[in-house]
Structure 1
Amino acid sequence: MLSGQEEKRLKEERLDQIEIMENIVDTMKAEKRGIKANEQRSLNSAKERITEIDSILEGAEIRGGIEKMIMTKDVHNPEVEQRKADDQAFLTLVKEARATGGMTAGSNGVVIPLSIAQRIVETAKNVSPIVAKATIWNVSGDLSLPSYDYTQNVFQYVTEGTAVTDSNGAFAGKTLANFIIGSLTKISNSLINRSDIDVVPVIIRQIGLSLALFLEGELINETGAKLKGLKSGVTVTATSTNATTAVIDAKTVTDLIGLQMKVPQIHQANCAWLMSPQVWTAIRSLTGASGNLLIHGDDTGIGADGGLVLFGKPVMLSDAMPTTLALNARGIYYGDFSGLDIKLTTGIQVKVLLERYAAEYQTGITAFQELDSVVGDPSKFAVLIGK
């Protein structure tokens, strides 16, 4: 690695070589002539020296970067170390070792560290695009969401010295309370005892998948009549032309365009479609009289990131959505899904049940989550419904 003095000397020499080249060019311009042989040699020599200096400086920079990487390689990362410690403690616990790894023992199990619980929620987000796009509030207790009708707050021209007319907008709000959901997972001790399998990610993924499946179903269909989601929260509708027959044909394309335009332009930037895989397949397979696809082009099909796209907007698929556009079916949603608010307490309460399933040669793992949901901003959504 170059010393500061050596680096300074090389940079000054580089400037000198550039000055030599500039002087030659200036002389040629002033005398309005071509380059002489000796000037050409000086010019070539200056270029070669600049290239050499650049190579030396670049090499020193690369070596310096590598040295920094080596120096920082052994620097401790508390977050990574804590995650490893939590994983090891969790694994020790589910393998029924004597030590609890510093975890807090309860009356019928042990409370799992927050890092494990957070990764369960992250898994749910990764699996469910609806949950990933929703606005998540990590708070305890009731949460009031303020909302304001921006269309009532009007700008207007005013004359200097004249009072501006007030607008009639008012704040409204929706409150998110607490509902408790829970699951019980039983893991085979044969799996836990295998040394060639890291069982912690398996457990996290299984609980995360269950959470994603539950949340997605409730946010779309509100089956349990507690969490509020798209079914009751989206009130702006477009009508499906073939609702009585549930046929998806060329008229459906017109319906989709009408649905997309139901959402105000101010919300269009982050909008996406939501439908079932069956409906998406039928729409993408539509062909005209000539046999060509009705919906095609760069803005429809598979996007640059590998995701599905329709009219330039991402397509999210969910098995919880209706499989046809039948009468009264809320078949396709379109909107900015950040308008869907989900309140989750700061962490899932996960416990390992040490003895309860010992006779079955299994280990029980329970997970409880306090949550609530609501469509906080209905103006961000529209739904295609058969009427």
Structure 2
Amino acid sequence: MSNDEQGKFDDLEKKIAGIDATIKAKEKVRSMYPEKKTEQQEQKTGELSVEERAFVDYLRGNATEERAENLTFTDNGAVIPNSIMNKIIEKVVDICPVYQMSDRYNVGGNISIPYYDEETSSITMAYADEFTELTSSSGSFKSIDLSGFLAGALTLVSKKLMNNSNFNVLQKVIEYMGKAIAKFVEHECLIGTADKADGMKGVKQVITAGAANAITADELIDVQEEVPDTYQGECIWIMNKDTRKAIRKLKDADGNYLLNRDVSAKWGYTLLGKDVYCSANMEKMEAGKDAIIYGDMSGLAVKVTEEASIEVLREKYATMHAVGVVAWMEIDTKVADVQKIAKLKMKAS
């Protein structure tokens, strides 16, 4: 470097060192004077701790009379406060990206989501002359109705494990229930169930593969192009692991693989520039099956009631030396914005 360049470099290095020193000083001051919680935050934390202790004590069978007051007892067991269920729902959001990215409604009862329908008619604009009547055109508003279908998940916790003081009962219950509910919720988001949640059944942008058990690069491009550019920013691919394995072998005209390993991708792979998520709930490449979903998952509306509850059944599974934990919730799913999502359907046999 020239003398001038060396001087500029030294100045920049001094500024960086100064910034680093300032950051360290602020962190030290922050550690010396921790931020105080508001009275409301402290009260909420205190209530949560009481409820969590009551939950763990009841699971272990040593709940005191005072802590038992935090539980609601029924003929079958105890209903645990919503704070525990909320932690389980948070776990579901963490491990279920489809649900995480969807348009979520955490309310009870039936709801109607309005959307603008341009399929039959739409608002248009055109040049016009003075004193000439404009020809009007307009779209129409429709709505998607979400109700609530009751679903439950049961997990058994070993009493032997719970009696081990090193076993984090609360964390394990949240983990077990979170995984069970996430698997169910993801299935209802992607596949749905007849006469219950629709899932992706409402997707209208459909590309049909030319074969019943194989996919081509051109078909993948066609699926991606179904979604307008304005919605491409948050799009992802969703498929079964076996489908991903088949796509990994596809190459473009120059011999480059379409699906690439990418350490910066959310799930380790990208396809045509978008992240690839594998779900065991997705159907495989079989005749007539929906093998791939592509799009912005905010186009899917999911309603999970905030009145979800969790019950502890201590007596029912006593002969198994276990405690049952049951989570109840209401759920419904439907495609709300058909422009945001497309899918690849395999050719019928």
TM-score range (shorter-chain normalised) is 0.7 to 0.9
Q: Indicate yes or no: 2:217 matched with 1:247.
A: no
For residues 119 and 211 of structure 1, the distance between their equivalents in structure 2, rounded to whole angstroms, comes to 12
Q: 2:333 aligns with which of 373, 377, 381?
A: 373
Decide whether the 8 Å contact of 2:302 with 2:332 is kept in 1.
yes
Kept in 1: contact 2:266–2:275 (CA 8 A): no
In structure 2, what is the Cα distance between the partners aligned to 1:361 and 1:317? 37
Q: Residue type matched to 2:272 in 1?
A: F
CA distance in 2, matches of 1:62, 1:132: 35
Deviations 1:228-253 (A, max 9, x none): 111x211221121223xx134xxx11
* 1:208 Cα deviation from its structure 2 partner: 1.1
- Seq. identity, %: 29
**1:129, CA displacement in angstroms?**
1.6
Unaligned 5+ segments in structure 1 are 1-50
Equivalent residue number for residue 356 of structure 1: 316
Distance 1:278 1:74, change over 3 A: same
- SS of the residue corresponding to residue 204 of structure 2 reads coil
225 and 74 in structure 1: CA distance in 2 versus 1, 3 angstrom threshold: same
Letter in 2 for 1:271: C
Is the alpha carbon distance of 1:294 and 1:81 closer, same or farther for their aligned partners in structure 2, counting shifts above 3 Å? Answer: same
Corresponding letter in the other structure for 2:284: T
Distance in 2, Cα, partners of 1:277 & 1:132: 20
State whether residues 284 and 301 of structure 1, in contact with CA within 8 Å, keep that contact through their aligned partners in structure 2: no
Cα deviation, residue 345, structure 1 = 0.8
CA contact (8 A) 2:157 2:323 kept: yes
The equivalent residue for 2:91 is: 123
Query: Structure 1, residues 24-69: CA drift from partner, whole Å, max 9, x if none?
Result: xxxxxxxxxxxxxxxxxxxxxxxxxxx9xx97x9979855653343
For residues 91 and 109 of structure 2, what CA distance do their matches in structure 1 show? 24
Q: Which residue number in structure 1 is paired with residue 51 of structure 2?
A: 86
- TM-score by length of structure 1 reads 0.75
1:215 aligns with one of 154, 161, 185: 185
1:180 Cα deviation after fit: 0.3
Give the number of the structure whose residues are more often helix, by fraction: 1
For 1:114 and 1:163, how far apart are their aligned partners in 2? Answer: 60
The amino acid of 2:257's aligned partner reads L
Query: Is the CA contact 1:274–1:332 (under 8 Å) kept in the aligned structure 2?
Result: yes
Q: Structure 2 unaligned runs (5+)?
A: 1-13
Contact 2:206 2:223 in 1 (8 A): yes
Residue 385 of structure 1 is matched in structure 2 by 345
* Alignment counterpart, residue 136 of structure 2, candidates 166, 180, 194: 166
Are 1:117 and 1:347, in contact at CA under 8 Å, matched by a contact in 2?
no
1:311 counterpart = 2:280: no
Kindly provide the amino acid, as one letter, of the partner of residue 294 in structure 1: Y
Call closer, same or farther: CA 1:58–1:376 in 2, change over 3 Å: closer
- What is the CA–CA distance in structure 2 between the aligned matches of 1:277 and 1:111, rounded to whole Å? 38
Q: CA deviation at 1:280?
A: 0.7
Q: C-alpha separation between the residues in 1 aligned to 2:139 and 2:231? A: 19
Q: 1:86-105 alignment to 2 at 5 Å?
A: 86-99=51-64, 100=67, 102-105=69-72
The CA deviation string for residues 66-108 of structure 1, in whole angstroms up to 9 with x for no partner, is: 3343222665753544443332221112111132354232223
Q: Match for 2:210: what amino acid?
A: T
TM-score, normalised by the number of residues in structure 2: 0.83
Cα shift readout 1:302-326 (whole Å, capped 9, x = no counterpart): 25145221111121111122222x3
Distance 1:82 1:167 in 2: 57
